[in-house]
Amino acid sequence: MNNQRPGPRDPRQQRGGPRPEAPTRRVSGPPPPADYRPPLAWSEEPDRRPRHRAPAPPPIEPRRREPQRPDPREQAPRHDHRAAAPGGYAPRQDPQPIPADRRRGSAQRPPHDAPPARRHRSDRQSPPPPPAKRGRRAAASAPKPRKRRKFRLGRILLVIVLLLVITPVAMLFYFDGKLHRVDALTSYSGRIGDTPGTNWLIVGTDSRAGLSDQQKKNLATGDADGARTDTIMMAHLPPSGKPMLISIPRDMYVPIPGMGSHKINSAFNNGGPQLLVQTVEEFTGVHIDHYAEIGFGGFDNLVDAVGGVEMCLDQPLRDPKAGLDLKAGCQELNGAQALGLVRTRAFPNADLERVVNQRKFLSALMAKATSPSVLLNPFRLFPFVSGAVDAVTVDSGDHLWSLAWLAFKLRSDPITTTAPADGDQYTDDGDSLIPGETTKRFFDYIARGKAVPADLLTSDAGAVS
């Protein structure tokens, strides 16, 4: 019994087995050429079956374009690195120019209804940043630039500087507008011309204007009406050297224009500041540049505003008429005590010793008013300026800064003296001081801007050291 399985009937059904040789055919005719190759078997022929191809896209008809705007689809296609679809259009590999509508900064843009052109990844714009958060919380949480902080700090410092500069200037003009003024330096025929240096005429009056009945009682000023002068001083600021504070005694017997010869205080009592200025200029030969008048009203507030003035007394002073009761030694005088000191004549030399105390007190007051404890303290500076505005009357051409300049000049230990006289004499006005050659020489040095010799200066012996 044969156990072998029969092979396939058709040798083409065998897999992996040898192929049977094709039977040779005898063809009659001439022999084949040398390069002739017999045809391949059917199994070795190439596959000529048609492959499936994607249908070509229909041609796109170009749109009718405007003359001034070219159609971007007519431009050369951009290179696409992605592979083309099977049977599709293969992009050109040679470099192509960039279309005009895609150049950076070009004003040309594709029409609104044109299909979107395919872009390269490098041409894609990054998405815009998300909008900033709004609101107070978001603004507070966002970090502030350092430059902005510096700008804000600079503005704050500028505002502070402007306030420090503008506020004092504004207050200066405000108080200057409140000063009492009078036409004291009026022009007259034959007036003395300008002399070297700057000369102030300072007058102290017994005017009670502005004082209540209680203030008159507390200050012991009395109830007399009008204004009389018991204090006449000339502040001479020379071109060089120390300033001088010169007292002109009220009993100096001088010629008064239109009145004849009288005591010099009669000029103020009868003709006011104008006649007094003219009398002093003609008597001394010195040109008066500024005028200041101080009355009882506001004088005590002026002293209290600076915190009092320290004075050293060589002897105790008691004068019921001036309301004065002071002990000997250094002490700080308040407004009422200072007013009694400059008014009292309870001395052996009466008025001559009083003018010495007046000069010393005025110099001490100017030194205290210009000290840092007052200038840097607004609680003292503004009350002092306000008290000066109430107590002082100036010429129509003077200002508050003129008084400040005078105060700075008199604070540095000026030369204080009394105008000399050649003796005393009893006249129709009572006991009077008679000017002479010594008086003329003294004021001649002042008129020429020269230093006054020591032999023409009087001693400062008085109750105040």
Model confidence pLDDT, tens digit, residues 10-24: 555 545 555 555 555
For residue 242 the two structure tokens come to: 């120390």
What are the DSSP calls for 60-114, one per residue?
A: PPPPPPPTTS--GGGSPPPP--SPPPTTSPPPP-S--PPPGGGSTT------TTS
How far apart (Å, rounded) are the C-alpha atoms in residues 452 and 431? 28
Model pLDDT, residue 27: 53
How far apart (Å, rounded) are the C-alpha atoms in residues 239 and 225? 41
Residue 81 backbone dihedrals phi, psi, to 5 degrees = -75, -15
Model pLDDT, residue 139: 54
Amino acid at the residue 207 = S
Q: Taking each helix axis from N to C terminus, what angle separates 351-369 and 335-343, rounded to the nearest 10 degrees?
A: 150
Output the furthest CA–CA distance in the chain (Å, rounded). 195
CA dihedral of residues 247, 250, 251, 252 (deg, nearest 10): 50
How many helices and strands in the chain, by DSSP H and E? Answer: 11, 15
Q: What is the arithmetic mean of pLDDT over 146-158?
A: 75
| Domain locations along the chain | 180-456
> Do residues 425 and 432 touch, judged by C-beta distance below 8 A?
yes
Model pLDDT, residue 90: 53
- Which helix (H) or strand (E) element contains residue 415? strand 415-418
Model pLDDT, residue 22: 53
Positive or negative, the CA dihedral 232, 211, 227, 218 is negative
How far apart (Å, rounded) are the C-alpha atoms in residues 427 and 423? 13
Model pLDDT, residue 53: 66
Nearest to 252 by CA among 261, 260, 244: 261
pLDDT class for 84, splitting at 50, 70, 90? very low
Model pLDDT, residue 446: 94
First to last CA, the chain: 170
Q: Which has more pLDDT, 88 or 339?
A: 339
Model pLDDT, residue 72: 57
Q: With 70 as the cut, is the pLDDT of residue 192 above it?
A: yes
Q: With 70 as the cut, is the pLDDT of residue 460 above it?
A: no
Q: What is the arithmetic mean of pLDDT over 311-336?
A: 85
User: Domain 180-456: what homologous superfamily?
Assistant: LCP protein (3.40.630.190)
- How far out from the chain centre does Cα 166 lie? 7
- Mean per-residue pLDDT of the chain: 76
Amino acid at the residue 127 = P
Q: What is the arithmetic mean of pLDDT over 73-82?
A: 53
